[in-house]
Amino acid sequence: MSIVDNIYNPERECMSKEDRAKLQGEFLKKTVERVYNNVPVFRERMDAKGVKPEDINSIDDLKKLPFTEKTDLRDQFPFGLLAVPQSEIVRIQGSSGTTGKPIVAGYTENDVEVWTEMVARAMSAAGATKDDIVQVCYGYGLFTGGLGAHQGATKLGAMTIPMSSGNTQRQIMMMKELGSTILCCTPSYATYLGETIREMGLVPGKDIKLKSGVFGAEPWSEEMRQHIEELLGIDAMNIYGLTEIAGPGVAFECKEKHGMHINEDHVIAEIIDPVTEEQLPPGTPGELVLTTITKEGQPMIRYRTHDICTLDDTPCSCGRTTIRMGRITGRTDDMLVIRGVNVFPSQIESVLVGVNGVAPHYMLIVDRVNSTDTLEVQVELTDEMFSDSVSKIEKIKNQIASEIKSVVGIQAKITLVEPKSIPRSEGKAKRIIDNRKI
Residues that bind ligand ADP (CB under 6 A): 95-99, 143, 216-219, 238-243, 305, 307, 328, 331
Q: Alpha-carbon torsion 205, 182, 7, 267, what sign?
A: negative
332 binds, among Zn ion, ligand ADP, none (CB under 5 to 8 A by kind): none
DSSP structure string for 8-62 = S-HHHHT--HHHHHHHHHHHHHHHHHHHHHH-HHHHHHHHHHT--GGG--SGGGG
CB of 47 to ligand ADP, least distance (A): 29
DSSP letter, residue 279? B
316 binds, among Zn ion, ligand ADP, none (CB under 5 to 8 A by kind): Zn ion
Q: Which residue lies nearer to ligand ADP by CB, 194 or 427?
A: 427
95 binds, among Zn ion, ligand ADP, none (CB under 5 to 8 A by kind): ligand ADP
Cα of first residue to Cα of last residue in the chain, in angstroms, is 49
How far from chain centre, in Å, is Cα 220? 9
- 96 exposed, middle or buried (CB, 10 Å; 0-12, 13-18, 19+)? middle
117 binds, among Zn ion, ligand ADP, none (CB under 5 to 8 A by kind): none
DSSP letter, residue 64? G
Binding of residue 288 to Zn ion (CB under 5 A): no
3-class secondary-structure state, position 220? coil
CB of 166 to ligand ADP, least distance (A): 17
Q: What is the C-alpha radius of gyration for the chain, rounded to an integer number of angstroms? A: 22
Alpha-helix residue ranges (DSSP H) falling in 219-344: 222-232
Q: Which residue lies nearer to ligand ADP by CB, 95 or 310?
A: 95
Q: Which residue lies nearer to ligand ADP by CB, 236 or 416?
A: 236
CB of 237 to ligand ADP, least distance (A): 10
Q: Which residue lies nearer to ligand ADP by CB, 217 or 385?
A: 217
CB of 240 to Zn ion, least distance (A): 14
For the segment 237-276, give every residue that binds Zn ion (CB under 5 A): 254, 256
Q: Which residue lies nearer to ligand ADP by CB, 96 or 342?
A: 96
* Residue 212 near residue 236, CB atoms below 8 Å: yes
DSSP letter, residue 60? G
CB of 396 to ligand ADP, least distance (A): 28
Count CA atoms closer than 13 A to 322's CA, side-chain side: 32
Q: Which residue lies nearer to ligand ADP by CB, 15 or 73?
A: 73
For the segment 289-318, give every residue that binds Zn ion (CB under 5 A): 316, 318
Type and span of the H or E element at 237: strand 235-242
Q: d(Cα 7, Cα 421) in Å, to the nearest integer?
A: 43
Q: Which residue lies nearer to Zn ion by CB, 197 or 316?
A: 316
Binding of residue 82 to Zn ion (CB under 5 A): no
CB of 68 to Zn ion, least distance (A): 29
Q: d(Cα 408, Cα 342) in Å, to the nearest integer?
A: 8
Q: How many residues does the chain have?
A: 438
Residues in contact with Zn ion by the rule CB under 5 A: 254, 256, 316, 318, 320
